[in-house]
Amino acid sequence: APPSAADYFAEKEKDFGVTAVGPVLVHYFPIKNTGKDKVTMGTPRIQCGCVSVTLLKPTLEPGETTHLVAYMHTAKIPQGQIGTNKSVTVSVPFSSPTLEEVVVAVKCVARPDLV
């Protein structure tokens, strides 16, 4: 049986910690095809407009690695969530070798009193 799609991710969460409101925080989630079959991923879905992502390569041959790049735009965090632990999930669909979805998360506490 092929590995689970979740096994292709070395990490599934990035906590940026406490940060000022304004900067764009960037994290690269590595994705490695550890199976024997070609892996195909679809367009990631994002839970909040304060995060955007780029999947650098949607298909991976066995042994290949790519990255899901997550950008957390702290200036776009909704006003009512400033100063709280803001966590945003990103769903990455896989269409082969199995039909699965992997969820990763980025989070931070954006504070207006920091410069």
Q: What is the pLDDT of residues 7-49, one digit of tens each?
A: 999 999 999 999 999 999 999 999 999 999 999 999 999 989 9
Are 70 and 104 in contact by the 8 Å Cβ rule? The answer is: yes
- pLDDT value for 3: 84
- pLDDT value for 115: 78
Q: How confident is the model at residue 1 (pLDDT cuts 50, 70, 90)?
A: low
Q: What is the pLDDT of residues 73-110, one digit of tens each?
A: 999 999 999 999 999 999 999 999 989 999 999 999 99
Q: What are phi and psi of 62, to 5 degrees?
A: -55, 130
Give strand ranges (E) for 10-84.
Answer: 13-20, 24-32, 39-41, 45-46, 51-55, 59-60, 65-73
CA 45 to chain centre: 10
Query: Rounded to an integer, what distance in angstroms lies between the CA atom of residue 79 and that of residue 88?
Result: 15
